[in-house]
Amino acid sequence: MEIKKVKIETDSQLSKLTNPLLAHVFTYRHFSESEVKEWLSEPCLCDPRSIPCVRECEKILLEILEKKEKILICGDYDADGICATAILMKALKASGFEVGFYIPDRLSEGYGLHVSTVEKAYAKGYRYFITVDNGVKSTEAMKKIRELNCHLILTDHHTYDEKDLDADCFVHPFLMEQPLQSLSGAGVALQIARLFLPEDKDIVALAAVAAIADCMDLKGENRSIVKLGLRYLNEGCMMPLQVLKNKPEARFDETVIGFQIAPKLNGTGRMADLAKANNTVRYLLLKDMKAILDGASQINRVNDARKAKTQEMEKTARNLMNEHKFQIIADDSFHEGVVGLVASRIANDTFLPCAVLSGNEGYYKGSIRSIEGLNLIDFFKDFAYFDAFGGHAMAAGITLKKEYYEDFLNYIYAKEDEIQSVNPSIEILIVNEKDLTLNNVRTFLASGPFGNGFETVTFGLENVKIVRSVIMQEKHCKLISDSGIEILFFNAKPSLEYLSQVQTINVYGRLSVSEFKGVSAVSLIGEGFY
């Protein structure tokens, strides 16, 4: 692992706005003075009626309400789509709409709004449809809605081709002002929902979960959504989310959402043979505590099955790897719902692009994960045999007839020279130990949310004098510096002998505050030393 040390002088103007540690971080992130002021200000959601496409949507919705027509919310089976569906369902139901919702089965139906869904809904009296977190690629369904003389409100956040769109109203972040242009599907749904429930904390919390789950840029409106959503969750709102935490006493933050809540919601969509994403929407809208606990238990069981299946598939996939610079791993036994997870793990561990494909009924369906410097859209632009291809530069989903699998391999291997090897590296920001006061570190931690667009920082400390070392459970180590900072190394058995005797150390890791018996201390969760 290459360590890239960054040593910078703090911007003097930024030093006037906040404490030395946070000013150093903002300098490192190249924030301007105005950006820092905005970042440190109290989060505030925009007025949805200030958004032209949302106002247009409101007009149609009010007409539907006045005419007492039925409207169907058409969602997606990932955490963003599930949260978006729940947000809009809660707002419209509470406002007196005759409203239903439907999320397709990932395995049997696949992504997007389908003609069959439109036809079944029409037979049940629905004449209005609204998509959330999908729709811009559903051209056949759009045509069917027109044929049936029905109406469509299309809301989405994915890249689109304008010529493919046919809707009565189109609501999309790209049609909004800059602070809103990175909204998730649930973030878009939130703008519409707040027309009817402007003060509701639950819908903000759901949009916060979706923004983190979908790795959205956490600036502008998204930052306010996540900041407020986490605040509301820590105040106790959304009991269905509260009971999904692994530890009831844990506070909600980006890590809890990203590694506990989002995977459990996603799992019900991935494991469509064991669960239904539609039931997860119903779960998120529950108020009865017994029903919530029963639902959480089912979601946790599905998540456990998802983890076991992922581990089993990853083991098989790693045994099928070869010497190529682009890994293509196909097996008929693979579960289609978790191929993306396996591809991500292999790509992240090997620094090689990876496609993991599940075979079924003459087709391969799967996911591709890329590496820095390899744009999947560009790489596959000349391959003519996909039945379906969607995604972005770093991740894509594909469908391919098995008869074209050899063409797929040959195409990739012929272009392997375009793939540049990636040397794993970590960038650390060198800071002064004296700036790591309890107050400064707490202010830094409160400056989140951290994520895409404002990633958390790996801090480096040099020439730290160690006054005491403690070995814990024969595998962990705690070092105490002469300034009182705790440096914690977990699962560090190979280095215990060195760490137990070290007197001065250069170390890097993540900042934290530890609490024990009412005493608080600055901690550095050690990721390495040099």
Q: What is the pLDDT of residues 321-362, one digit of tens each?
A: 999 999 999 999 999 999 999 999 999 999 999 999 999 989
Q: Could you tell me the pLDDT band of residue 423, with boundaries at 50, 70 and 90?
A: confident
The CATH code of the domain that includes 163 is: 3.90.1640.30
Place of tokens 């007409």: 63
**Same structural domain for residues 206 and 325?**
no
**Same structural domain for residues 377 and 492?**
no
C-alpha–C-alpha distance, residues 238 and 445, integer Å: 24
C-alpha–C-alpha distance, residues 327 and 367, integer Å: 12
Q: Could you tell me the pLDDT band of residue 407, with boundaries at 50, 70 and 90?
A: very high
CA distances from 310 to 63, 304, 305, 334 (A): 47, 10, 8, 9
Choose among 275, 357, 345: nearest CA to 310.
Answer: 345
According to DSSP, the residues that pair with 524 across neighbouring strands are: 487, 511
Question: What percent of the chain has a predicted confidence (pLDDT) above 90?
Answer: 93
The confidence score (pLDDT) of residue 391 equals 81
Tens of pLDDT, residue by residue over 216-243, are 999 999 999 999 999 999 999 999 999 9
392: pLDDT strictly greater than 90: no
- Secondary structure (3-state) at 509: strand
Q: Is residue 364 part of a domain?
A: yes
The boundaries of the domain holding residue 522 are: 2-8+425-529
Please tell me the pTM assigned to this model.
Answer: 0.93
The confidence score (pLDDT) of residue 316 equals 98
**Same structural domain for residues 402 and 475?**
no
478 or 420, higher pLDDT: 478
Contact 118, 141 (CB under 8 A): yes
The CATH code of the domain that includes 338 is: 3.10.310.30
Contact 233, 213 (CB under 8 A): no
CA distances from 476 to 59, 174, 525 (A): 61, 48, 11
The confidence score (pLDDT) of residue 412 equals 97
78: pLDDT strictly greater than 90: yes
The confidence score (pLDDT) of residue 482 equals 95
Q: What is the mean pLDDT of residues 260-269?
A: 97
- Torsion over CA of 488, 494, 500 and 501, rounded to 10 degrees? -130
**Same structural domain for residues 340 and 234?**
no
**Same structural domain for residues 406 and 433?**
no
Spell out a b/e string for 520-530, using b for 16 or more CB atoms within 10 Å of the CB, else e: eebbbebbbbe
516: pLDDT strictly greater than 90: no
The confidence score (pLDDT) of residue 424 equals 83
Q: Is residue 29 part of a domain?
A: no
C-alpha–C-alpha distance, residues 210 and 187, integer Å: 8
**Same structural domain for residues 144 and 271?**
yes
Looking at the 3D structure of the chain, how many domains does it have?
3
453: pLDDT strictly greater than 90: no
472: pLDDT strictly greater than 90: yes
421: pLDDT strictly greater than 90: no
Could you say which of 362, 384, 418 is where a domain stops?
A: 418
The confidence score (pLDDT) of residue 420 equals 86
Question: What percent of the chain has a predicted confidence (pLDDT) above 70?
Answer: 100
Place of tokens 């690629």: 137
Tell me, what amino acid is at 64? Answer: I
**Same structural domain for residues 441 and 522?**
yes
Choose among 441, 448, 386: nearest CA to 412.
Answer: 386
**Same structural domain for residues 441 and 325?**
no
**Same structural domain for residues 351 and 432?**
no
**Same structural domain for residues 395 and 519?**
no
The confidence score (pLDDT) of residue 518 equals 85
Could you say which of 364, 384, 418 is where a domain stops?
A: 418
Q: What is the mean pLDDT of residues 52-77?
A: 98
Choose among 440, 450, 449, 435: nearest CA to 520.
Answer: 440
C-alpha–C-alpha distance, residues 291 and 287, integer Å: 8
Tokens of 278: 């539609």
Could you say which of 367, 398, 418 is where a domain stops?
A: 418
366: pLDDT strictly greater than 90: yes
The confidence score (pLDDT) of residue 515 equals 87
Q: Could you tell me the pLDDT band of residue 90, with boundaries at 50, 70 and 90?
A: very high
The CATH code of the domain that includes 437 is: 2.40.50.460
150: pLDDT strictly greater than 90: yes
Least trusted range by pLDDT, from 56-70, 178-192, 387-401, 456-470: 387-401
**Same structural domain for residues 270 and 344?**
no
Q: Is residue 374 part of a domain?
A: yes
Mean per-residue pLDDT of the chain: 96
44: pLDDT strictly greater than 90: yes
Least trusted range by pLDDT, from 184-198, 268-282, 415-429, 456-470: 415-429
93: pLDDT strictly greater than 90: yes
Q: What is the mean pLDDT of residues 279-288?
A: 98
Q: To the nearest 5 percent, what fractions of the chain are helix, strand and coil?
A: 45, 20, 35
Q: Is residue 292 part of a domain?
A: no
> Taken in order 151, 153, 156, 161, is the CA torsion positive or negative?
positive
Tell me, what amino acid is at 156? Answer: D
The confidence score (pLDDT) of residue 498 equals 95
**Same structural domain for residues 354 and 461?**
no
Q: Is residue 89 part of a domain?
A: yes
CA distances from 278 to 63, 109, 268 (A): 27, 14, 9
